[in-house]
Amino acid sequence: MALIPGPVVTDREPSADWSGDQRWELAGPQQTGAEAAPQPARLAKFHVPEIVFGPGSLAEIGHCALRLGGRRPFLVTDPGLIEAGWVEEAAGHLRRVGLRPVIWHDVTPNPKDHEVEAGFGRYVESGCDVIVGVGGGSVIDAAKGVAILASNGGHILGYEGVDRVVQPIPPTVMVPSTSGTGADVSQFAVITDTTQHIKITIVSRTLVPEISVIDPRLLTTMPDWLNAATGLDALTHAIEAFVSRAHNPLTDIHALHAVELITRNLVRTQIQPKDFGARLAMAQASLEAGMAFTNAILGATHAMSHQVGGLLDAPHGVVNGVLLPHVIRFNAQAWPERFAALGAAAGIPTDGVPPYEVAIQLADRVRALADDLGVPKGLASLGVAESDVSVLARTTLKDACMATNPRDIDRHAAETLFREAL
C-alpha cells in the first residue's frame, strides 16, 4: 500500500532466501470481517519532525527558525493567540536572534480556501522564507496551505488527496496551542472548500514540519469548549490510528499511551484548568496521538467529521466526539481484538471479557467522556438534518481517511452511521 513505505520492521530473523525488496501484506481485518488477519513482519513507516517539548520551550522558536535558514519568518496565527499574548512572546524570541517576522493572522476556525490564498499573497509580497505557525490546528493547516502554494503554485483545492504536493515546501516550525489536533507533527492539512461546503484532506510527507515546539503553557489559555474539542480529537486520532489498516508496532505504542493519558487527564483539565500536570499529560497525549495517526492514517470517524465540518463550519473535535462511539461499534464487528486493547488502555477490565463486549464498553466510555465535557449527543444538535445525510455519505466515501478504515463502508453503511448519529 502506497501509504506505508519505509524501513523494514521484523519480529524474526530473515530467512536465507530473504530479498530486501520483499513486501508483506498489511496486517488487518479479513475482508469478511470475521477474524483478524495474522500479523506478519511487514514494512513500517514512522516520519516525525524534530520535537522540542516542555514548559518554556517557546523560547527556542527563534533558534529553530534560524537553524532552518530563516531571515524573514512568516508567522501565521489568529486573533485569539494575539489576545492571549503568545504571539508577542513568539515574535520577541524571533527578533532576539536577529530575525524580522511578518505576522499574518487572518485565519478562522476550519481554515478556508480563500484564506489560504490570501495568506500566500501576503507571504509573497513580504519576501518571507521560513513559515512559523503559532496556534491550533486551523492555524497550522493554513500555514501548511501557504507553504504548499509557495513552492507548488496553483490553487489549494487542487492538492486534495494523497501525494499531490510534488515540490518541497519552505521550512516550517509549528507551535501548537491546543492539545489535540496533532497538526504540528502530521502529514495532513484539512482545508474548507467554501464553494462545495466540504473539507478537503491533503496528505503528503512534505507537510510534516521540520520542527515542532510544544510548550504546555500555551494550553492554559484555551477556552473550555476548545479544550474539550481538541482533547476528543486527540482521542479519535489515537483510536483510529490503532485500528487503521496501516497501523504498525511503531504507531501502536504511541496510540495506546495517548488513549491512557487522555482518558485519565482530559476531564481534569476541564475541572481544574490550572492543573499543570494534567496539561503536561494532554500535551504529550496530543503529540503521541499525532505521531501515531500521521503514520497509520485514520478512518471513518474523520472522513465523516470532515464532511459535517465543511457543511456547518462546526468544531471538528466536537463532531468527532459525537461520531466516534457509533464508528467504534461498526468497526468492532470486523476487528474486535484491536478494540479490546484500546479498552484496556482506557481502564476497562478485559480479563475474561469477549473482545466485542470490551469494544462496546469502549464506545460507551467515549460517549460518557463526551457527556462529561458537554458535547451534544447527536449531530442534529449541531445542525445536521435528515436531508443532509445522502450528500454527507456520498462525500464521505471520497475522503482520503476512508482508505485505512478497518472495515469496508459503502454508501448505505455511511448513511446508516450518519442516521444513527443524528
Average pLDDT over residues 224-244: 97
Q: Is residue 36 part of a domain?
A: no
Among 218, 241, 267, where does a domain finish?
A: 218
At 73 the pLDDT is 98
pLDDT of 35 strictly over 80:
no
Give the least confident one: 28-37, 38-47, 184-193, 408-417: 28-37
Mean pLDDT, range 34-49, rounded to an integer: 67
3-class DSSP string for 31-89 = CCCCCECCCCCEECCCCCCEEEECCCHHHHHHHHHHHCCCCCCEEECCHHHHHHCHHHH
Q: Report pLDDT for 45.
A: 77
Query: Rounded to an integer, what is the distance from CA 310 to the centroid of its chain?
Result: 16
In terms of domains, do 136 and 260 share one?
Answer: no
Same domain, yes or no, for 253 and 147?
A: no
Taken in order 210, 213, 218, 220, is the CA torsion positive or negative? positive
Average pLDDT over residues 314-335: 96
Q: Is residue 35, in this structure, part of any structural domain at all? A: no
Contact 72, 102 (CB under 8 A): yes
Q: Is a pLDDT exceeding 50 seen at residue 282?
A: yes
The CATH number for 319's domain is: 1.20.1090.10
Per-residue confidence (pLDDT) for residue 182, from 0 to 100: 95
The residue among 189, 218, 247 that closes a domain is 218
- pLDDT at position 41 is 62
Answer left, alpha or beta for residue 288, where phi above 0 means left and psi between -120 and 50 means alpha: alpha
43 phi, psi to nearest 5 deg: -70, 145
Confidence of residue 12 (pLDDT cuts 50, 70, 90): very low
The strand pairing partners of 161, in sequence order, are 202
Residues 179, 308: one domain? no
Residues 160 and 270 in one domain: no
**Structure confidence by residue, pLDDT tens digits, 56-83:** 999 999 999 999 999 999 999 999 999 9
Are residues 71 and 213 part of one domain? yes
Residues 237 and 279 in one domain: yes
Q: Is the pLDDT of residue 344 over 60?
A: yes
Domain count within the chain: 2
Assess if residue 240 is contained within a domain. yes
Residue 233 is assigned to a structural domain of this protein? yes
Structural domain containing residue 112: 50-218
Q: What is the pTM for the complete model shown? A: 0.89
Q: What pLDDT is stored for residue 44 in this prediction? A: 81
> Do 206 and 232 belong together in one domain?
no
Please indicate, yes or no, whether residues 212 and 75 belong to a single structural domain of this protein. Answer: yes
> Do 291 and 144 share a structural domain?
no
Domain contains 31: no
pLDDT of residue 95: 98
Answer whether residue 337 is part of any domain: yes
Q: What is the CATH number of the domain that holds 151?
A: 3.40.50.1970
Residues 396 and 252 occupy one common structural domain: yes
Task: Tell whether 393 is covered by a domain.
Answer: yes
Average pLDDT along the chain: 90
181 and 280 assigned to the same domain:
no
- Please give the pLDDT value at position 43: 78
Of the residues 171, 189, 218, which one is the last residue of a structural domain?
218
Would you say residue 25 has pLDDT above 70? no
**What is the mean predicted confidence (pLDDT) over 101-117?**
97
Same domain, 233 and 345: yes
Whether residue 20 lies inside any domain: the answer is no
Proportion of the chain above pLDDT 90, given as a percent: 88
For the ranges 8-17, 241-250, 263-272, 280-289, the lowest mean pLDDT is seen at 8-17
Residue 396: all three cell numbers together: 464521505
